[in-house]
Structure 1
Amino acid sequence: MPKSLLSKNPLPKTSVTPLGMLRDLVPGPGAARRVAFLMFAQSLGTGLFLTSSAVFFTRTEGFSTGQLAFAMSVAGLCGFLCSMPVGRIADRLGPRTPLAAGYALLGPLFLIYPFVDDVAEFAVVAALIGICETGAGPLRGALIHALFGADASRVRAQMRSVFNLGFTGGAAMAGLALASGSRSAFVVVTSANAAIQLGCAVIAVRLRPPAGTEPAPAASAKRSWAAVKDRRFLLATGLSGVLEFYLPVLTVGMPLWIVHRTDAPGTLTAALTALNTVLVVFLQVAGSNGSDTVRGSGRLLVRAGVLLSAACALFALSGSGDALWSVLFLVPALVVLTLGELAQAAGSWGLAFALPPPGRMGEYQGVFALARGFQQFLGPALVTVLTMRLGAIGWLTLAALFLVAGLAAGRAFTRDTPTPPAPAASADAATPKE
């Protein structure tokens, strides 16, 4: 493990008091705060854009929902396919320069976005944006690891809280553009986002790891597929992807269930989504305790599987009574789901940081990004079919899926005996350990 930027000034242990938890949300001075500003700016632009783009292209440009879905699927597929090559680029050039280049490219792409007038042009621009945005994930992960070393998991927990704050703020600002519904309003949105992305590029350029702490670039092209040959790491990726199905449960399954299969008011969806955001912002840092080791991350994934399973059972029960009965089960279901989300996020990035051997962090982060692609590709359709067609039985099926994935993660990773990581030169010959 390279020396951490914070190794001379270790971060304090996570507090369990309300005031201490608030203090834990504030990153330390220096690189941590610059990364936090980067994440806040990027999430502000993401929330601003994503909340308004679909409405603009369907209402103002006249695209059908099918055309929009096709173009966005193409964009998602392109991003998915590019995550591994981007990770290998990070190992050869370092993550900072490619990350800054991606943000710099997003600037002009967002500027031209509102002026595309057919589906083919839209798909091309959306695909380029998808490549840049999806590729930014493993690049940010590799950069955070290079900057903070052993403290990377805790810093990433802070960044997740910051991301939720920025995304919520961007979504609220997008409401003004949605109220107008005009092309000029969307041009303002995309221009603001373009400026934000260019600002992110400047910040990324300045996030230079201290001399001597950045891992040496991978030298051998023969080892460029080490991550996809690492069965243990692929198991971590797959189980993390399954447990990340909490996201379509939150964004697709829960709203549809509330509106179509319970007597609860539809406005409860917005209230529960807001509650989820608040809980993630304030509890993610505390919920990441233990994610700095393989064993601790495995325990977090077990906890995630159990909690997510319990949440699905509560959702199933919410559809069998009147409005009050539904609310009495939906609120605790959301809280338990969020606690499972916190554990899943921390356990997943803990394994993503702890398992890769030295010099291969970018490549491994690129492979780990496949878990998010898997969830994005299959999750919404699976959750919709199970919950809307099978009702309570579908929820219990999801509960079983989460529980099995969590227990499998426990069996695979909580019995780990800490050993030094395999040297970079033998990354293909040995399974990396904690």
Structure 2
Amino acid sequence: MAQAAADDGTTRNGRRRWPLLLAVAIDALGTGLYLPLSLLYFLEVTDLDLATIGVLVSVTTALTLPVPIVVGWLVDRFGPRMVVAGGQALQGFGFLLYLTVSGAASLVVAVLMTGVGLRVYWSSVFTLVADQADAEGSEATDHWFARTGMIREAGAGGGALLAGAVLAVDSARVHDGLVLGSALAFLAAALLVVFAVPSTPHVQAPVQGPSGHRALLRDRPYLALIATSTIFALCSSFLALSLPVYVVQGLSGPSWVSGPLLALNTLLLATCTTALTRFVRRRCTRPRAMAWAGVLWTLWCAASAAAVLLPSEALVPYLVAVVLCYTAAEMVYGPASNALAAEAAPPGSRGTYLAAFQYSFAAANILAPGLFGLLFGQNRLLPWLAVGLLAALGAALMLRLEHRLPQERRTSGPTDTARDGAPDTKATDEGAAH
């Protein structure tokens, strides 16, 4: 009977999981379909030059930065499910507006709608994932984030590959078709979230004491977690940004090698993250896992800088090993950081806290291009020195933060799952009860 109950529980969990995982996959597919087009689409449908388009897109995207502040409040008040669906719907309708773009004004409107939708989605989906994981027990949080991360990589990579194949036919109609495909994917994902993702109990913020943004601003350990995660997010965003330029201009290597190396990174993230997360989770706490990721990123930077010493015939296999080091860091960091951010947030303010946590990635995406360009322009090794030092600093900060964040209660044994990562009942030193 115990086995039958376990099987029944597994079946119920599987039924709970598939709608959200499928919605994440479809959403990622929509992103991947448009990714190879990027700014190229606006070059074709308008008379604007690349510099003007770049400025318009950057400024419009910057206008969406305050959105997570509002989204966190909405999630805490109404729950994450409909907010996530709203973000996906906004992206879908935004891509439909792409088909009407003909000049600067229509471009700004379309980019603003998709940008707001993107902020809404990323500021609420992690709360939805965490709530779904709670239904299986808090020990499931890491594995939920690992699964969704793998599915995002697979969906986005598959969409990009499909779009790349289709773009071999250089036709405006084909490009419009890819944009329409992205729009339909986001709208389909929104419908799936609304009608198929199961509801979870919604925890209202307690009336007594500070909550929401007031509690967050007083919670120094969590703010320190966001700041430290910004360092790691900067490391995470550096591979795709730096590898093509560094290989060709810094190492005088073959231009074709960057594509396969980035594909290898995506493939491993899409297939191995859950297994590595399970391995790491049984051996260390989430803060220590994040610190280990920082160590791996430090090694990646050192190895990348050392590539200038290699003969040309050894460069490609060496770069494969370097990318494997980077990918291991990303696989360790992603699930651990998201699970820690979710578990460290007070239940009634989880939406606000996780929305604020997304600013670490937003800040990194803003800083990384300028930092790399500025440092690489001075010396080809400076980016690796700077990011390597930042990664080491992040590892040290996580070790110092470990005892200021909610403590995990762990059990020994092969399952290692009982109340895995559960928050401590005591309040932080800033008075925010976690």
Q: TM range, normalised to the smaller chain?
A: 0.7 to 0.9
Q: Distance in 2 between matches of 1:427 and 1:116?
A: 50
- Aligned: 1:48 with 2:33: yes
RMSD: 2.9
Q: What do the CA deviations read for 1:364-395 (whole angstroms, capped 9, x no partner)?
A: 11100100111111012112322342222431
**Percent of aligned pairs sharing the same letter:** 23
The structural deviation recorded for 1:123 is: 1.9
Name the structure 1 match of 2:9. 9
The structural deviation recorded for 1:183 is: 2.8
Q: Distance in 2 between matches of 1:61 and 1:291?
A: 50
Q: Distance in 2 between matches of 1:275 and 1:346?
A: 19
Q: Is the 8 A contact 1:317 1:329 kept in 2?
A: no
Name the structure 2 match of 1:71. 56
The structural deviation recorded for 1:69 is: 1.9
Name the structure 2 match of 1:265. 254
SS of residue paired to 2:255: coil
Q: Distance in 2 between matches of 1:360 and 1:7?
A: 34
Name the structure 2 match of 1:215. 203
Distance 1:179 1:59, change over 3 A: farther
Gaps (5+ residues) in structure 2?
1-5, 410-421
Q: Distance in 2 between matches of 1:376 and 1:247?
A: 10
Distance 1:89 1:422, change over 3 A: farther
Name the structure 2 match of 1:83. 68
Q: What do the CA deviations read for 1:150-175 (whole angstroms, capped 9, x no partner)?
A: 12321111111111111111111212
Gaps (5+ residues) in structure 1?
1-5, 12-26
The structural deviation recorded for 1:60 is: 4.7
The structural deviation recorded for 1:64 is: 2.2
Q: What number of residue pairs does the alignment pair up? A: 411
- Aligned: 1:34 with 2:22: no
Q: Distance in 1 between matches of 2:424 and 2:392?
A: 31
Name the structure 2 match of 1:336. 325
Q: What do the CA deviations read for 1:294-352 (whole angstroms, capped 9, x no partner)?
A: x7111111111110010011111112343224324322111101111112212211221
Name the structure 1 match of 2:285. 296
SS of residue paired to 1:360: helix
The structural deviation recorded for 1:178 is: 2.6
Q: Distance in 2 between matches of 1:344 and 1:299?
A: 10
Q: Is the 8 A contact 1:352 1:365 kept in 2?
A: yes
The structural deviation recorded for 1:80 is: 2.3
Name the structure 1 match of 2:432. 431
Find 1:205's aligned residue among 172, 176, 194.
Answer: 194
1:218-367 map, 5 Å: 223-225=211-213, 226-289=215-278, 296-367=285-356
- Aligned: 1:182 with 2:151: no
Q: Distance in 2 between matches of 1:324 and 1:43?
A: 37
Name the structure 2 match of 1:377. 366
One-letter code aligned to 2:432 = T
Distance 1:338 1:316, change over 3 A: same
Name the structure 1 match of 2:129. 144
Name the structure 2 match of 1:194. 183
One-letter code aligned to 1:336 = C
Q: Is the 8 A contact 1:320 1:326 kept in 2?
A: no
Distance 1:306 1:170, change over 3 A: same
Q: Is the 8 A contact 1:299 1:414 kept in 2?
A: no
One-letter code aligned to 1:257 = Y
Distance 1:346 1:414, change over 3 A: farther
Q: Distance in 2 between matches of 1:129 and 1:7?
A: 42
The structural deviation recorded for 1:8 is: 8.4
Q: Distance in 2 between matches of 1:210 and 1:8?
A: 20
Q: Structure 1: which 4+ aligned runs deviate by more than 6 Å?
A: 290-293, 426-429
Name the structure 2 match of 1:107. 92
One-letter code aligned to 2:121 = A
One-letter code aligned to 2:328 = L
One-letter code aligned to 1:74 = V
Name the structure 2 match of 1:410. 399
One-letter code aligned to 1:49 = Y
Q: Is the 8 A contact 1:243 1:402 kept in 2?
A: yes
One-letter code aligned to 2:86 = A
Q: Distance in 1 between matches of 2:94 and 2:177?
A: 14
Distance 1:7 1:201, change over 3 A: farther
Q: Distance in 2 between matches of 1:140 and 1:388?
A: 38
One-letter code aligned to 1:180 = V
The structural deviation recorded for 1:59 is: 4.2
The structural deviation recorded for 1:233 is: 0.8
1:147-166 map, 5 Å: 147-149=132-134, 150=138, 151-166=140-155
Q: Distance in 2 between matches of 1:228 and 1:51?
A: 39
Q: What do the CA deviations read for 1:77-96 (whole angstroms, capped 9, x no partner)?
A: 23322112101100101111
Q: Greater shift after overlay, 331-340 or 113-122?
A: 113-122
Q: Distance in 2 between matches of 1:349 and 1:126?
A: 27
One-letter code aligned to 1:355 = A
One-letter code aligned to 1:214 = H
Distance 1:189 1:396, change over 3 A: same
One-letter code aligned to 2:257 = L
The structural deviation recorded for 1:284 is: 1.0
